[in-house]
Amino acid sequence: MKKIIIIVFLALFVASCSTKQDKISTGTVKNSSTGITQTGAVSTETEDKTILYDKNLKEMQTNKKLENGDVVAFMKTTKGQIEIFLETKKAPITSANFIGLAKKGYYNGTTFHRVIKDFMIQGGDPLGNGTGGESIYGKKFKDEFDKDLKNNTYTISMANSGANTNGSQFFINVNNNNYLDFKHSVFGEVIGGRENVLNISKVKTGAGDKPEKEVKIISIEIKKYEDGKFVDYPFDEKKVVDDYNKAQEESKNSPIKSGDKVSVHYKGTFENGQTFDDSYSRGTPISFTVGAGQMISGFDEAVVGMKVGEKKSITLPPEKAYGKRDENQKQIIKKADLKEFTDAGIKLEKGAKLPTQLGELEIIDTNEETVTIDINHPMAGKTLKFDIEIVSKD
């Protein structure tokens, strides 16, 4: 049976094509099959390693009023210099990873291996094909979200292959890609050299969105802003990693809060006791980020404050589940647009049930050319009961 994740019902049954991506991937990107690595095309751009700290200071101060203690990454690329303000307070774990890798020269010589115009530029993979990378923590590290950090234009965010699989790969948004919020961890913003980011986003690309001519990161230096100057930023990687591991261990025994990634077993029943969904029988718990809108609101709220191993039974009224039934929730669709159903042997007649990602939707009226569909969620108006058990928390 389907997960009880809320699904937005757009353009009923008709799939639309989009040039945007729903995820910035690592490890599963299509271009990994090409075998292209950093040893491919040779860049004809300059590889001058000189970083000018005051070069874009006016632009930086315009885009972000720098304060004492702010941390800025100076990234020198073959397309020019880029300055990135790092969110060391709102995204300390992710920022520390980037800082640690940059300070040890991990990114030096790597490329922007995936570029999509009007979307983003992706880099940070030493293999140059989207399958490589590691973190300073010695393993993939957890997502880190803050309600104020959005995947807006010129923000820098972590690429991943799923929840809590962050390594070294990152991307810079060249558009407002807010549908990626709470999926990809934002940890900074480009405040200088924005024209260079745009220039990279417009390069000619080939298979797998890989630039035909390499765009390379020459070096990255991390500086702290103090009294109008950029000074060295001290970084104790061992302490950062030790603190991270200690916090992770302590977090396992702490109550669940918004932003935590949890795995939950559950059994869902109607008021008459009939089971409509059961993760126990499937043998696989459901995983989701608390407070990210991935679950019906009552279920989401119920896990807050629980601990790993704890069990709870809850009863959710319609407004906390799939909402009340609305008789005005219906849609008229041309029969010609439902050919996939007729091809499957389903007659487009009153009372017929059409299988969709929402469940079975009922035809409530029909004429020669169109049908009218009840687009209420199949469980709208129902009171639901759940027995839930917290399996794990990341």
pLDDT of residue 46: 56
| Same domain flag for 316 and 345 | no
Banded model confidence at residue 92, pLDDT cuts 50, 70, 90: very high
Residue 12 lies in a domain: no
What pTM value is reported for the model?
Answer: 0.66
pLDDT in tens, 202-239: 999 999 999 999 999 999 999 999 999 999 999 999 99
Q: Are residue 220 and residue 304 in the same domain, yes or no?
A: no
Residues 228 and 271 in one domain: no
Alpha-carbon distance 285 to 197, whole Å? 41
Domain check: are 258 and 224 in the same one? no
Q: Where does a domain end: 242, 268, 298?
A: 242
In this prediction, residue 165 carries a pLDDT of: 94
Asked if 280 and 134 sit in the same domain, the reply is no
In Å, what is the CA distance from 67 to each residue of 60, 81, 94, 224, 228?
Answer: 12, 21, 21, 10, 9
Tell me, what CATH number does 351's domain have?
A: 2.40.10.330
- 185 and 97, same structural domain? yes
Mean pLDDT of 357-377: 91
Contact yes or no for 161/264 (Cβ under 8 A) = no
CATH of the domain at 281: 3.10.50.40
SS3 assignment, position 221: strand
Residue 31 has pLDDT above 50, yes or no: no
Which of the residue ranges 83-92, 101-110, 325-334 would you say has the lowest mean pLDDT?
Answer: 325-334
Judge if 230 and 256 occupy the same domain.
no
Inform me whether the pLDDT recorded for 58 exceeds 50. Answer: yes
Q: Is the pLDDT of residue 19 over 80?
A: no
Number of compact structural domains in the chain: 3
Check whether 319 has a pLDDT greater than 70.
yes
Range with the poorest average pLDDT among 35-44, 100-109, 241-250, 344-353: 35-44
- Are 194 and 262 in the same domain? no
With a cut of 60, say whether residue 6 has pLDDT above it: no
For residue 23, being part of any structural domain is answered with: no
Mean confidence (pLDDT) of the chain: 88
147 and 275 both lie in a single domain: no
| 291 and 180 together in one domain | no
Q: Are residues 271 and 166 in the same domain?
A: no
Q: Is 276 left (phi over 0), alpha (psi -120 to 50) or beta?
A: alpha
Active site residues: 114, 119, 122, 160, 171, 180, 184
Confidence of residue 25 (pLDDT cuts 50, 70, 90): confident
136 assigned to some structural domain: yes
| 126 and 274 both lie in a single domain | no
In a domain, 9, yes or no: no
Task: Tell me the β-bridge partners of 263.
Answer: 287, 392
When pLDDT is cut at 50, 70 and 90, the band that residue 360 belongs to is confident
**Domain of 80, in residue numbers:** 30-242
pLDDT tens-place string over residues 135-194: 999 999 989 999 999 999 999 999 999 888 999 999 999 999 999 999 999 999 999 999
